[in-house]
Amino acid sequence: MSKGKGHIPYTLPRQEPEEMRRRLDAMYLHLSNRRSVRSFSSEPVPIDILERAIHIAGTAPSGAHKQPWTFCIVTDPALRTRIRQAAEEEEERSYSSRMSDRWLEDLQPLATDHIKPFIEDAAALIIVFRRLHEKDPDTGDKYPNYYVQESCGIAVGLLLSALHEAGLAALTHTPSPMNFLGELLNRPENERAFLNIPVGWPAEDTTVPLLLRKSLDEICVHYAPPSNKGGL
């Protein structure tokens, strides 16, 4: 693992505000077109493309720079069949008894159910594991990781952006509980499944629910000094 040693100088190229606005407006347009996709064509994606996206995810900040994540790329059809079977078993239980009526009602616009063909159809699954602690291979001593949930969340945000940049569709699939993923992938005892992310090309007849995003006013609050009400 690459470990930091000392400090090095760091600068960022300075841009004019107009250029900053132009870039961010373009980025908004691009990212606001990212959607969760639930039906995929089985057309393959070159593995190095997925590796490049994971490389980008690995640039995320993490608690004490412990990088507490592992990204597993799964393309093996037999393994995916087993993952689908286990996921659908859990999802069946969730939809029929574990999820509240309110939850099921909230999910209606997404039209989801316990049947998960995308696990077998998508070009690949990227299954993300959060690492609770690290283990010294010689002594077996355990060392904690910090803010693992937050760190993995940020890394997956970057991963989704990277996949979208490559023009690929993805879904953050959350079968619950998802311990079966660690068992089927034979992950070490310090890892817990965080998300299953089917990735690939949308099927030809793909539709996505008509959703509205909250406006900037609804998600952003500015605490300016009294003398500066109108912004900077």
Please pick, from the candidates 129, 173, 178, 195, the single residue that binds ligand IYR as defined by CB under 6 A.
Answer: 173
Instruction: Pick between residue 81 and residue 176 the one whose CB is nearest to ligand IYR.
Output: 176
Instruction: Pick between residue 68 and residue 198 the one whose CB is nearest to ligand IYR.
Output: 198
What would you measure as the largest C-alpha separation in the chain, in angstroms? 65
Q: Which tokens is 44 given? A: 């393959």
Please pick, from the candidates 68, 175, 198, 200, the single residue that binds ligand IYR as defined by CB under 6 A.
Answer: 175
Do the bridges between strand 124-131 and strand 191-200 make them parallel or antiparallel, or are there none, so unpaired?
antiparallel
* Stretch touching ligand IYR by CB under 6 A, among 1-9, 106-114, 155-163, 205-213: 106-114
Total binding residues toward ligand IYR, as defined by CB under 6 A: 8
Instruction: Pick between residue 8 and residue 211 the one whose CB is nearest to ligand IYR.
Output: 211
Instruction: Pick between residue 110 and residue 208 the one whose CB is nearest to ligand IYR.
Output: 110
Instruction: Pick between residue 58 and residue 180 the one whose CB is nearest to ligand IYR.
Output: 180
Per DSSP, which regions of the chain are E strands?
Answer: 69-74, 124-131, 133-135, 142-144, 169-170, 191-200
| φ/ψ of residue 208, rounded to 5 | -130, 150
Instruction: Pick between residue 42 and residue 174 the one whose CB is nearest to ligand IYR.
Output: 174
For residues 28 and 5, what is the distance between their CA atoms, to the nearest angstrom? 36
Please pick, from the candidates 41, 112, 161, 190, the single residue that binds ligand IYR as defined by CB under 6 A.
Answer: 112
Task: Name beta bridge partners: 69.
Answer: 130
Q: Which residues lie below 8 Å from residue 112, measured CB to CB, with a gap of 6+?
A: 38
For residues 197 and 145, what is the distance between their CA atoms, to the nearest angstrom? 23
Print the binding letters for residues 69-98 with ligand IYR: x by CB under 6 A, - otherwise. Answer: ----------------------x-------
* Contact (CB, 8 A) for 55 and 126: no
Q: From the CB of 146, what's the least distance to ligand IYR, in Å?
A: 26
Contacting positions for ligand IYR (CB under 6 A): 91, 107, 110, 112, 173-176
